[in-house]
Amino acid sequence: MPARVIDGKRIAAEYREQVRQDAAAFTQRTGIVPHLVAVLVGDDPASAVYVRNKERACEQAGFKGTVHRLSAETSQAALLDLVARLNADPGVHGILVQSPLPKQIDPLAILDAVDPLKDVDAFHPENVGLIVQGRPRFLPCTPAGVQQLLIAEGIETAGKHAVVLGRSEIVGKPMALLLMQKGLAADATVTVCHSRTKDLASIVRQADLLIAAIGTAKFVTADMVKPGAVVIDVGINRGESGLVGDVDYGPVSEIASAITPVPGGVGPMTIAMLLRNTLTAARMRVRD
Same domain, 93 and 180: no
pLDDT digits (tens, 9 = 90+) for 221-265: 999 999 999 999 999 998 777 889 999 999 999 999 999 999 999
Active-site residue 218, yes or no? no
CA-to-CA distance for 215 and 200, rounded, in angstroms? 15
Spell out where the chain has E strands: 4-5, 35-41, 64-70, 94-97, 161-165, 189-193, 209-212, 230-233, 237-239, 242-244, 258-259
In-domain check, residue 272: no
Same domain, 149 and 251: yes
In-domain check, residue 175: yes
In-domain check, residue 133: no
Check residue 1 and give its pLDDT. Answer: 79
Q: How many domains does the chain have?
A: 2
Q: Are 82 and 39 in contact (CB under 8 A)?
A: yes
Same domain, 92 and 168: no
Annotated active-site residue in 121, 208, 233, 246: 121
Active-site residue 98, yes or no? yes
Same domain, 107 and 163: no
In-domain check, residue 25: no
* 183 has a pLDDT exceeding 70: yes
Rounded mean pLDDT, 9-30: 98
Same domain, 188 and 259: yes
Same domain, 62 and 153: no
Check residue 98 and give its pLDDT. Answer: 95
Check residue 12 and give its pLDDT. Answer: 97
Check residue 99 and give its pLDDT. Answer: 93
In-domain check, residue 11: no
Domain hosting residue 54, numbered range: 32-115
Same domain, 197 and 234: yes
For residue 62, name the pLDDT band (cuts at 50, 70, 90).
very high
Annotated active-site residue in 22, 54, 119, 246: 54
Same domain, 44 and 160: no
pLDDT digits (tens, 9 = 90+) for 63-95: 999 999 999 999 999 999 999 999 999 999 999
Mean pLDDT over the full length of the chain: 96
Higher pLDDT, 20 or 240: 20
pLDDT digits (tens, 9 = 90+) for 263-275: 999 999 999 999 9
Same domain, 74 and 176: no
Annotated active-site residue in 22, 98, 147, 173: 98
Tell me the CB-side half-sphere exposure of residue 172, using CA atoms within 13 A: 17
In-domain check, residue 4: no
For the domain that residue 87 is a member of, what is the CATH number? Answer: 3.40.50.10860
Active-site residue 54, yes or no? yes
Q: Are 281 and 22 in contact (CB under 8 A)?
A: no
Residues 6 or more apart whose CB falls under 8 angstroms from that of 50 comprise: 98
In-domain check, residue 165: yes
For residue 288, name the pLDDT band (cuts at 50, 70, 90).
low
In-domain check, residue 45: yes
For the domain that residue 155 is a member of, what is the CATH number? Answer: 3.40.50.720
* 44 has a pLDDT exceeding 90: no
Same domain, 231 and 174: yes
Same domain, 166 and 105: no
Same domain, 145 and 248: yes
Check residue 20 and give its pLDDT. Answer: 98
